[in-house]
A and B are shown apart, each in its own frame.
Chain A
Amino acid sequence: MAYSDKVVDHYENPRNVGSFGKDEAGVGTGLVGAPACGDVMKLQIKVSPEGIIEDAKFKTFGCGSAIASSSLVTEWVKGKTLEEAAAIKNTEIAQHLALPPVKIHCSVLAEDAIKAAISDYKAKSGGKTEAAE
C-alpha cells in the first residue's frame, strides 16, 4: 500500500511520543482500540487550570496510519480548549492525512482517543474546568 507523504512524515518523525504520569495533576488519559484488532492508541493531555490543553503525548500500537493519526492529533489538540479539542472530527484527520477508505478506522480511533482523554480528565478533576471556562 502506498502511504501519503504526510503519513510517512508522521510515521518517521512522530510528534510527542511518550507518557505523562497518569496521576499527575491536569492529566487525562485515553486508551482506545484493542490488541486483537491490531490498533491500540494511548493519548494523554495535560490541561492548564484555565482549561487549555498545554501538552499532549501518545503511544500507539498499530499500522503507519494509526501512528500518523495519533501523532497528528497530539499536534492539533495543543493550545485548544477541551470543547475545541472534542470537536475534532475523524473526517478532518482522514482528509489531512489522505487516508484510504480501508484506513478510515485509524482516524475514528484517534477521535475516540481525544474524547476518552477528555472524559478521563473531567472525571478526575470533578468537572471544575467547566467552571473555569
Chain B
Amino acid sequence: MTAVTQDKKQGIGNVRKMPIYLDYQATTPCDPRVVEAMLPWFTEKFGNPHSRNHAYGWESEEAVEKARAQVAAIIGADPKEVIFTSGATESNNLALKGVAHFYKDKKDHIITCVTEHKCVLDSARHLEQEGFKVTYLPVKQNGLIDLDQLRDAITDKTALVSIMAVNNEIGVIQPLAEIGAICREKGVFFHTDAAQAVGKIPLDVNEMKIDLLSVSGHKFYGPKGIGALYVRRRPRVRLQALINGGGQERGMRSGTLATPLCVGLGEACAIAQAEMGAETERLRMLRDRLYKGIMDQLPEVYLNGDFDQRIPGNLNLSFAYVEGEGLMMGIKDLAVSSGSACTSASLEPSYVLRALGVDIEMAHTSLRLGLGRFSTEEDVDQAVEHIVTSVKRLREMSPLWEMAQEGVDIKSIEWAEH
C-alpha cells in the first residue's frame, strides 16, 4: 500500500479520513507498479508509436507491442488479435455495432442478455432502431443464462451472441465455454464483455471459443481511459470501424495510441496473470469472512446471485426491511454501492436484481460489497461491525421490520405506490 493510501485510511495530518474502499467493481486504484511502468512514457519517451522514421517512434511502438502481447497473454490470444480502445464501453460498442454493421446484408439478429452492462444494452437498442432484431435472454434466479434458451434463440440470421463473462453487480460468472461451444456449433460469433473478469478468473479465448472479448484497464488496477478488444483472426471476425482516420489498429480503431496507457494496461495484465492464483485464494478468504461475519449476526439477509459461480471479490446482499440508501448513510465509513433506486438518478431499483426475480422491495435493500487487491482483514472486520450495527439500528426504526416481527404479511397490505 502506498503512503498516501495509508495516510488517508488513518486520517493522518491534513488528509481527510477516507472511508474503507469496498467498491472494487466500480473501479480499482492503479497498482503503483503499473504507474511506475507508465511514467517514462509521458515524458522522455514521448514518441508517436506510429512514427516509422525515427527512434522516438520505434521505442514507443516497441512498448505498445509489448503491452499488446501482455494483454493477449492473459486471455490466451495472439497479439495480432488485440486492438486498443478507450475502455470496455468502446470495446462493447465496437463489437456489437461493428459486427452487426459488417454482416448486415446477410444477418440481422443479435442475442444478448437482460443483465448485461448498460453499454451493451444501449448499443443493442441503437441497433434495434436501425432495424436489427435483438433477443434479450432472461437469467435464472442465480443470475446465469439458460443454455437451452440460448440454443433455441439462435437462427440462421443471427450474427452475434454477446454474453458478459462476469456481472458487475452480482459477480456471477456465465458458463463461457458452454456458450462458446454452442455458438461455434451454430456458426455464430461469440462476444463477451469481460470487463469484470479479466485478471480475476482464468480466460482462454481458444478453449472457450470466444470470438470477441472486451477488456477494461481500470477494473483490474490499470489506468482509466484504456481498454482492449480481442478480435479473432481464425475464423476471421470482421468489423466495421466506429472511429475512422489513419487506419491504426488494423483499421478497426483509428487514432494515435496512448503509449503510457497501453503500457499501463499491459503491466496490469502481467501482474494480474502472475498473481491471480494466490490473490483469488486471499480474496475468497476475505469474502467468506465478510459473509460469515454478517450472516452470523443478522437474520434475514439474502445473497443475490449464485454463490459458487461467482468471482471471489463480490458479495451482493439484501438486508430485508432496511432501505439501501438509508443503510449507506449509516455505514458512511464504508465506500459501497447500493441496488436501491435512490442512489441513481432514476427511481427504479437495480434492473439486474429485478431480472433475477428479486422482489422490488428486496432490490431496494441491497448492497454491493466489492473486495480487491488492497483490501485487508481489518477492513473486513470493520465493515462487518459497521454493517451489523447500522442494520440493527435501522431495523428498530423500520415499520416493516416491526410488522414482520408482529407477524403481519407485508405483501397482504395494499400499499399506495407513489
**Would you list which residues of chain B between 290 and 342 have a CB under 8 Å from chain A?**
321-326, 329-330, 340-342
**Interface size on B (CB < 8 Å)?**
30
Give A42 to B396 CA distance when docked, in angstroms: 13
**Would you list which residues of chain B between 341 and 389 have a CB under 8 Å from chain A?**
341-343, 345, 347, 349, 360-361, 364
Chain A residues near B323: list those with CB within 8 A: 38-39, 61-63, 66
Chain B residues near A59: list those with CB within 8 A: 397-399, 402
Encoded as 1 (CB less than 8 Å from any B CB) or 0, chain A from 95 to 114 comes to: 00000001001001100000
Any B CB within 8 A of the CB of A86:
no
> Distance (Å) between the CB of B5 and the closest chain A CB?
23
Any A CB within 8 A of the CB of B15:
no
> Distance (Å) between the CB of B99 and the closest chain A CB?
38
Any A CB within 8 A of the CB of B400:
yes
Number of cross-chain contacts by CB at 8 Å:
88
- On whether the beta carbons of A40 and B325 are closer than 8 Å, the reply is no
Chain A residues near B410: list those with CB within 8 A: 35
Partner of B400, one of A14, A61, A105: A61
Partner of A34, one of B329, B342, B343, B418: B418
Partner of A61, one of B343, B360, B398, B418: B398
Give A11 to B330 CA distance when docked, in angstroms: 8
**Would you list which residues of chain A between 12 and 65 have a CB under 8 Å from chain B?**
14, 17, 19, 31-42, 59-64
Any B CB within 8 A of the CB of A76:
no
Residue in B closest to A43 when the chains form the complex, CB atoms: B399
- On whether the beta carbons of B416 and A32 are closer than 8 Å, the reply is yes
- On whether the beta carbons of A60 and B397 are closer than 8 Å, the reply is yes
Residue in A closest to B341 when the chains form the complex, CB atoms: A38
- On whether the beta carbons of B417 and A34 are closer than 8 Å, the reply is yes
Also in contact, A14 and B402, with CB within 8 A (given A34-B416, A34-B418, A63-B342) = no
> Distance (Å) between the CB of A43 and the closest chain B CB?
10
> Distance (Å) between the CB of B258 and the closest chain A CB?
33
> Distance (Å) between the CB of A102 and the closest chain B CB?
7
> Distance (Å) between the CB of A42 and the closest chain B CB?
4
Chain A residues near B364: list those with CB within 8 A: 35-36, 38
Any B CB within 8 A of the CB of A67:
yes
- On whether the beta carbons of B418 and A105 are closer than 8 Å, the reply is yes
Residue in B closest to A7 when the chains form the complex, CB atoms: B329
Chain B residues near A11: list those with CB within 8 A: 326, 329-330
Also in contact, A62 and B326, with CB within 8 A (given A35-B410, A38-B364) = yes
Residue in A closest to B326 when the chains form the complex, CB atoms: A63
- On whether the beta carbons of A60 and B398 are closer than 8 Å, the reply is yes
- On whether the beta carbons of A102 and B349 are closer than 8 Å, the reply is no
- On whether the beta carbons of B342 and A38 are closer than 8 Å, the reply is yes
Residue in A closest to B400 when the chains form the complex, CB atoms: A61
Give A77 to B247 CA distance when docked, in angstroms: 70
Chain A residues near B326: list those with CB within 8 A: 11, 61-64, 66-67
> Distance (Å) between the CB of B11 and the closest chain A CB?
19
- On whether the beta carbons of B415 and A35 are closer than 8 Å, the reply is yes
Also in contact, A33 and B396, with CB within 8 A (given A61-B323, A62-B323) = no
**Between-chain CB contacts (< 8 Å), 20 pairs:** A11-B330, A14-B397, A33-B415, A33-B416, A34-B416, A35-B361, A36-B361, A37-B418, A38-B349, A39-B323, A39-B418, A40-B400, A59-B399, A59-B402, A61-B323, A61-B399, A62-B323, A63-B326, A64-B329, A102-B345
Besides A8-B329, A38-B323, A38-B324, 5 new A-B residue pairs in contact (Cβ under 8 A), listed by A number: A35-B360, A38-B340, A38-B347, A40-B400, A40-B415
Residues of B at under 8 Å CB distance from A?
321-326, 329-330, 340-343, 345, 347, 349, 360-361, 364, 396-402, 410, 415-418
